[in-house]
Amino acid sequence: MIQKRGLRGQKGQLPSYFLPPRRALTLLHQKITANLPEGHYDPYDLERQVLYRITTYNPKKIKECLVKNTIAEQFAITQQRLSMFPYDLKYVFRGRYGKFLDLCEERRLALFEENGHIYGRGKYISFEVILKRIEDDGIISLFTNDLHINLKQVPEREVFGLFFVSDPIPWALIVVGVGENIQEHFYTLPGAPENTHEILSSSVQKYLKFKKGDVNIHEPHAEKMASCDLSIKYKYVFVPEIIKGKKCFRHNTRPVVKNKESYIVTHPDFPLSFLRLLYKCFQSQNYSKYEGIETTVGQRRKCVDKIRRN
């Protein structure tokens, strides 16, 4: 039974262990976005790592100070990951600041296909968009390892990206696994056009159909991975890492060897209903624009109730 008493929790405490999962996730999201630090990074990725890390704590003892400390820890890891990034981070994350017309979270373009060409259009503006097949492992790694934490390695793959004409790197990238059950992994930079996934996936599917015959790209969605062991699917693993003399815990997406390295995992008392919702949230089609969670401080949208219904 859900306790109706004390839904807001005691002073400094977040949120009650007995809150409905959507309400709990919304409250955590509000606290995280209100305390995101300044800097050139993807706030969506940082928020995701913070939420995953929070699941390693006892849910009955989650307080605001713990959330703030977790943000600082994961931000330090993000900064270290981006410290060797070979491109200007201010330009890469230009979509966050509202000063550019091509990528802008406040005024997103929409993509259109016309006569075999793709255009990004807004009010009184239009940009030509180029679709390229990407074979440069360095560019692929920027998205799957540097800009974001990669959730799954895809050994056999086809990779495509969307560029504006003068872009050195793509602002959207799709990794399509090759095999009987073709599955995609989708990444965008903040401020990408609203229908980027739809256009990119459609274009890639046409290409693969032309090259390989009939194919059907499946979204990596929780309900479509029912054969996966729930105890594994909803468990997040963090391994220790020393950053500037301080011990932090980094989200680990590769197998860990027991007794070889110390690691922590999702707390056993975290409700499965919350973990299932969290998993579903971050299986969204658009990596940098999850429809149920705001991506920047001050950008107000309907929160978890707007989760995509498949």
State pLDDT tens for residues 132-144.
999 888 888 888 7
User: What number is the average pLDDT over the span 218-243?
Assistant: 57
Q: Which two tokens stand for residue 104?
A: 């802008």
Which of 38-52, 195-209, 219-233 shows the lowest mean pLDDT across its residues? Answer: 219-233
pLDDT, tens digit, 9 for 90 and up, residues 95-133: 999 889 999 988 999 999 998 899 999 988 999 999 999
- Beta-strand ranges (E) seen in the chain are 110-114, 117-122, 125-133, 157-164, 172-177, 184-188, 237-243, 246-252, 264-265
* Range list of H helices, 188-271: 196-212, 230-233
User: What number is the average pLDDT over the span 237-248?
Assistant: 92
Q: How confident is the model at residue 193 (pLDDT cuts 50, 70, 90)?
A: very high
CB atoms within 10 A of CB 255: 7
Contact by Cβ (8 Å): 63, 307? no
pLDDT at residue 34, as a whole number: 92
pLDDT, tens digit, 9 for 90 and up, residues 265-291: 999 988 888 888 887 777 654 333 333
Q: Which residue has the tokens 């929070």?
A: 54
Listed by start position, the domains of the chain span: 21-84+266-306, 89-212
User: What number is the average pLDDT over the span 204-211?
Assistant: 80
pLDDT at residue 192, as a whole number: 93
Contact by Cβ (8 Å): 241, 250? yes
Closest of 110, 140, 142 to residue 127, by C-alpha: 110
Q: Is the pLDDT of residue 185 over 80?
A: no
This prediction's pTM? 0.76
pLDDT, tens digit, 9 for 90 and up, residues 21-57: 888 888 898 899 999 999 999 998 899 899 999 999 9
- Return d(Cα 198, Cα 143) in angstroms, integer: 19
User: What number is the average pLDDT over the span 5-14?
Assistant: 47
